Structure 1
């Protein structure tokens, strides 16, 4: 029988970065992941409450608090029975309330309630009852305990737990490692990764600061904008086939489109785009909730003379090289380069999410769908692509108002959409 894990452990580098951000600016909504799900059907609030407790018991990162020991940050796991009830139920007041408006209202309420990471688990939920067969669940998880892939794990396992509890059963699932196991593994490999990666980053980013093309004055999170675009499955299939013909990664296609849009709007050459390295390179961590992601900076050269095809080839070479050196924590790279913050390297963050799972059949008799809610961004410009179960891509372009006005933000989304629509194989 394996030895029990200690309840206290050091932090991963991603957690250290996020804890520092929380200490410097407590309660910033950009550090919290908020998602909304609509449920249609005979929904049982108490079964949901049990299912949330089941998921929290399964993933101890959702019942972890943070403190200090001998000058170093630590995380301490609470016992499931010591965790407060995460669910707040909001009764129906107006049966005609629009579901999107209800989701935004509850998401905004959760963003106004910052986590005290030293005393409270980093996970909350609000359930808005619209009528007896129509509910909106809004989940709020601090980024220190969650990433985009974790959101998908949570929604999948919440459905599994709800279905079991609805039948009067305790969910039976295969055990998963603790996030603390990942922390231990990361600590064992940091020096090896740094020896491989830091020379690469010094060489790639040694030319000095890449010129800024957007204002960087801090703006309140509320002073932001967002544009949503749905790329149909047929369009996605067409441009991914074009990408395969060029041996280009889907992320490279997205980043090429962002580069082309920036070139069109700002004449930015060269520019540096940020993206996210998933960090889940070992199979045993594929179903673990936690923050695994690591930002990386990718310089791109968007000369007006480059055709779209040549732009994709150039961007793909750089993206592929950077992803192969994405293990070393970003703060170590920043320190090695003598930079102060990520804004010294990039102002634009481009993220291609893991393909979404179909949650429409949440459990027998209940259908579900994700409801988009506004997410404040700490980047001047954030471009996200979310592959959908039917093959479509949902594009979200978000910006900070002091860097980009509404007209320019919408034009960037339009330019990116046009670039991807026009990509096709040469017959």
Structure 2
């Protein structure tokens, strides 16, 4: 099975993860990474791949050691949770790290039925029963056996519930959510989204709007310290499962177990090995990207802004994919290289850092857990003006593979090691993601 082993190695270097869920082969990859050629190779060798996974399933890997933590009053935070905790302490009225989604429910249901389903989710996921404190000047998390939870009833014109403060938060969130009636839904979210008190669980709110007898909207708001984008998908899927009277598969571990595992000596040793590579990439002065601004940069970084989306023509996508194939790269790598070139040419800078988020769920046991697993890779590359694009693409390909190999190393620790002085008006390592 040497060819299967080689395939696994190549896929892992590209950030593609293969796993078995029951008898089904699951493929997970960052957006744009999985090429048609890779997919065809996986399909062609599917049976051999499944056999390979089964053969090595009982082999010991560094991720196999995540087990339920010993029960205690308080648990340590993961590095990313620590960062979010202290950010929230700087501005306790901020909801820049609220994560809001909208779910439309069609059919007959009532508030009590919906509340019962969400209480089931709160009971299932410890993250939804977790609060955060400072104990002896150290941030910790506490998991409660039971917390009070109920839906908030909202009106269709934005009145009702508890009003949010004016500012950038709800407008920014609403702009990112597709909705059947954008203006009305924006008003609903405006009235609903407000800051969380991290000391009070659950860090989850759900607002209910009845648009018609058999049409309802649920506004789901969670703090980022207990959730990520993948978690919103988990909550949505499991809501539908429970709403239909079914039960999701039981969880073997919870997020606090992952946080405790991440702080263990063996895992810290592995992270320390990864640190060497990251420190080499950020030796010397860290470049600051001076993008042109429409307005003066504020003294303190905020998140006011807007989003613009666009589509590429099919022909352009085909040509980009062909370029990726010729360079033995992925579409993600090609687009990332092109993005570097655009940033470089806009200001004439030849040393650029771009933030690249990764899901951080590298093992099957993490796939169904609500929690904050996301890490951000600080990808540094040198798009020199005299360099051929094909040569630069090879550099981006190599740095991307290395970055994904070392993705367990927390961004927060890299910042602590390489940033000598902080600028409160910007991110310490990169200005674009």
Would you say same fold, with TM above 0.5? Answer: yes
Q: Given the superposition, is the C-alpha separation of residues 300 and 294 from structure 1 closer, same or farther in structure 2, using an over 3 Å criterion?
A: same
| More off after superposition, 229-238 vs 4-13 | 229-238
Post-superposition CA distance 1:92-130 (Å, at most 9, x none)? 459xx962223322333333x210111232111112322
Post-superposition CA distance 1:36-62 (Å, at most 9, x none)? 233344454433222211111111101
Equivalent residue in structure 2 for 1:132, among 213, 230, 246? 213
Once the two structures are TM-superposed, the CA of residue 238 in structure 1 deviates from its matched residue by 6.5
Post-superposition CA distance 1:124-172 (Å, at most 9, x none)? 11123222233322211111001121121111111111111xxxxx635
Matched residues in 2 for 1:182 and 1:315: separation? 31
Matched residues in 2 for 1:323 and 1:266: separation? 28
Name the SS of the counterpart of 1:9 in structure 2: coil
| More off after superposition, 35-44 vs 329-338 | 35-44
Where does residue 154 of structure 2 map in the other structure? Answer: 90
Matched residues in 1 for 2:109 and 2:299: separation? 43
Name the SS of the counterpart of 2:75 in structure 1: strand
Q: Given the superposition, is the C-alpha separation of residues 190 and 16 from structure 1 closer, same or farther in structure 2, using an over 3 Å criterion?
A: farther
Once the two structures are TM-superposed, the CA of residue 313 in structure 1 deviates from its matched residue by 2.4
Equivalent residue in structure 2 for 1:186, among 262, 267, 270? 262
Matched residues in 2 for 1:246 and 1:74: separation? 47
Equivalent residue in structure 1 for 2:348, among 267, 283, 306? 267
Equivalent residue in structure 1 for 2:121, among 55, 71, 76? 55
Post-superposition CA distance 1:22-77 (Å, at most 9, x none)? 00121322211111233344454433222211111111101111112233221111
Structure possessing the higher radius of gyration over alpha carbons: 2
Where does residue 285 of structure 2 map in the other structure? Answer: 208
Q: Within 5 Å, give how 1:357-372 maps onto structure 2.
A: none
| More off after superposition, 320-329 vs 248-257 | 248-257
Matched residues in 2 for 1:145 and 1:208: separation? 34
> Does the 8 A contact of 1:12 with 1:186 survive in 2?
yes
Give the total of aligned pairs.
338
Name the SS of the counterpart of 2:196 in structure 1: coil
Matched residues in 2 for 1:202 and 1:282: separation? 26
Q: Given the superposition, is the C-alpha separation of residues 304 and 98 from structure 1 closer, same or farther in structure 2, using an over 3 Å criterion?
A: same
Post-superposition CA distance 1:241-289 (Å, at most 9, x none)? 6434433244423422422332353334221101123221222112111
Where does residue 354 of structure 1 map in the other structure? Answer: none
User: Would you say 1:73 and 2:164 are equivalent positions?
Assistant: no
TM-score by length of 2: 0.70
Q: Within 5 Å, give how 1:289-304 maps onto structure 2.
A: 289-304=370-385
TM-score by length of 1: 0.71
> Does the 8 A contact of 1:12 with 1:183 survive in 2?
yes
Q: Which has the higher contact order (CA 8 A, sep 6+)?
A: 1
Where does residue 346 of structure 1 map in the other structure? Answer: 430
Once the two structures are TM-superposed, the CA of residue 202 in structure 1 deviates from its matched residue by 1.8
> Does the 8 A contact of 1:209 with 1:344 survive in 2?
no
Once the two structures are TM-superposed, the CA of residue 211 in structure 1 deviates from its matched residue by 3.2
Q: Within 5 Å, give how 1:250-329 maps onto structure 2.
A: 250-306=331-387, 308-329=389-410
Equivalent residue in structure 2 for 1:109, among 184, 191, 195? 191
Any unmatched runs of 5+ in structure 1? 165-169, 350-427
Once the two structures are TM-superposed, the CA of residue 306 in structure 1 deviates from its matched residue by 4.4
Q: Given the superposition, is the C-alpha separation of residues 241 and 251 from structure 1 closer, same or farther in structure 2, using an over 3 Å criterion?
A: same
> Does the 8 A contact of 1:34 with 1:140 survive in 2?
yes
Matched residues in 2 for 1:40 and 1:308: separation? 51
Matched residues in 1 for 2:375 and 2:197: separation? 24
Matched residues in 2 for 1:136 and 1:234: separation? 38
Equivalent residue in structure 2 for 1:24, among 69, 90, 110? 90
Name the SS of the counterpart of 1:348 in structure 2: coil
Matched residues in 1 for 2:407 and 2:374: separation? 10
Matched residues in 1 for 2:98 and 2:330: separation? 29
Matched residues in 2 for 1:281 and 1:21: separation? 26
Name the SS of the counterpart of 2:247 in structure 1: coil
> Does the 8 A contact of 1:93 with 1:130 survive in 2?
no
Matched residues in 2 for 1:4 and 1:190: separation? 17
Matched residues in 2 for 1:161 and 1:300: separation? 47
> Does the 8 A contact of 2:238 with 2:248 survive in 1?
no
> Does the 8 A contact of 1:92 with 1:131 survive in 2?
no
Equivalent residue in structure 2 for 1:8, among 26, 51, 74? 74
